[in-house]
């Protein structure tokens, strides 16, 4: 058995029932010894992207990007809870790729920085008119679907590289529909919904609600109960 931190051990009831990928992820879960200096320029890139749009007062793009990021945190929380309650595996885990820091069993800091930028930058693809159709499909839905397909393709590559792993037959390269439908489509649909709201106050309230829910879940299931 791989060495687990005291916190990771507290999440495990029977190590023999847990998949190898999950044990590998638990062995580096929130381990500060994983730190690598490359994370600092990555952080600066995130800051640059957001401050650039803020300087242009492009609040719709900024808040859409944050909504996208908040939706990813929601997914990562329930994914971690799947592991705790099954004591077998999360739906996805991130045990490989030589990460700088594994925040949750399926979320490393590189992934979270990627999503923080991706949501904002995807708004650059949106036509001005939200009701405009492309190939007979609403442009928001079409772009959300297309971007989700691209993300699934990237996940397949990461899985083949051993950086992102799957242990369930209904969530893998042979059955990508749930990854597309649950893993990604909601991110863009919510982000574009926030982007198209007609005033900043509504956008801020919506994004705040997403983050309040995420934070409450992290506090309860993480800090208090130690489940994730």
pLDDT reported for residue 171: 95
Whether residue 170 is predicted with pLDDT greater than 70 in this model: the reply is yes
How far is Cα 145 from Cα 189, in angstroms, rounded to an integer? 9
Give domain status of residue 10, yes or no.
Answer: no
Residue 211 forms part of a structural domain = yes
Higher pLDDT: 131 or 59? It is 59
Q: Average pLDDT, stretch 171-183? A: 92
Residue 65 belongs to a domain: yes
Is there a domain that residue 52 lies in?
yes
Query: 202 pLDDT band (50/70/90 cuts)?
Result: very high
Answer yes or no: is 7 within a domain: no
Quote the domain boundaries for residue 129.
15-224
Residue with token string 């990604």:
184
113-133 per-position pLDDT tens digit: 999 999 999 999 999 889 899
Whether the pLDDT of residue 43 is over 80: the answer is: yes
* Residue 107 to residue 73: CA distance in whole angstroms: 9
* Cβ count within 10 A of residue 57: 9
- Using only C-alpha atoms, what is the Rg of the chain? 18
> Which of 177 and 11 is assigned the larger pLDDT?
177
- Split at pLDDT 50, 70, 90, the class of 25 is very high
Distances (CA, A) of 1 to 18, 26, 142, 170: 10, 11, 46, 27
96 contacts: CB under 8 Å, gap ≥ 6: 24, 161, 162, 163, 164, 165
Task: Name which of 54, 72, 109 is nearest 210 in CA terms.
Answer: 72
| pLDDT of 70 above 70 | yes
Query: Where residue 96 falls among pLDDT bands split at 50, 70, 90?
Result: confident
Q: What is the band of 12 on the pLDDT scale with cuts at 50, 70, 90?
A: confident
Q: Which region among 4-8, 71-75, 212-216, 222-226 has the lowest average model confidence (pLDDT)?
A: 4-8
Q: What is the mean pLDDT of residues 30-50?
A: 95
Angle at the Cα of 31 from the Cα atoms of 101 and 163, rounded to 5 degrees: 45
Assess if residue 79 is contained within a domain. Answer: yes
Q: 């309650």: which residue's tokens?
A: 85
Average pLDDT, the chain: 93
Is there a domain that residue 206 lies in? yes
Quote the pLDDT of residue 7: 65
- In the numeric block, the tokens 């949501």 are attached to 119
Q: Report pLDDT for 83.
A: 97
How many separate domains does the chain show? 1
Residue 5 in domain: no
Residue 197, pLDDT above cutoff 80: yes
Q: Rounded to whole angstroms, what are the CA distances from 9 to 26, 41, 84, 226? A: 8, 33, 11, 10
State the average pLDDT over residues 157-185.
Answer: 93
């Amino acid at each position: 058995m791989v060495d687990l931190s005291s916190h990771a051990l507290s999440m495990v009831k029977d190590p023999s029932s847990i998949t190898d990928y999950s044990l590998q992820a638990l062995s580096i879960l929130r381990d500060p010894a994983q730190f690598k200096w490359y994370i600092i320029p990555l952080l600066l890139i995130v800051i640059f992207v957001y401050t650039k749009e803020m300087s242009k007062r492009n609040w719709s793009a900024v808040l859409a990007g944050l909504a996208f990021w908040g939706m990813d945190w929601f997914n990562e929380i329930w994914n971690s809870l799947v592991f705790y309650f099954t004591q077998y595996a999360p739906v996805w885990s991130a045990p490989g790729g030589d990460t700088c820091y594994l925040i949750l069993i399926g979320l490393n800091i590189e992934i979270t920085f990627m999503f923080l930028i991706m949501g904002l930058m995807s708004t650059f693809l949106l036509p001005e008119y939200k009701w405009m159709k492309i190939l007979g499909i609403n442009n928001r839905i079409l772009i959300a679907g297309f971007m989700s397909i691209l993300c699934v393709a990237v996940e397949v590559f990461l899985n083949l590289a051993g950086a992102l792993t799957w242990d369930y037959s209904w969530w893998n390269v042979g059955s990508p529909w749930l990854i597309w439908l649950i893993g990604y489509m909601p991110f863009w649909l919510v982000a574009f919904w926030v982007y198209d709201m007609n005033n900043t106050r509504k956008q801020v309230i919506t994004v705040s609600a997403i983050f309040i829910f995420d934070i409450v879940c992290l506090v309860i299931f993480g800090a208090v109960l130690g489940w994730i």
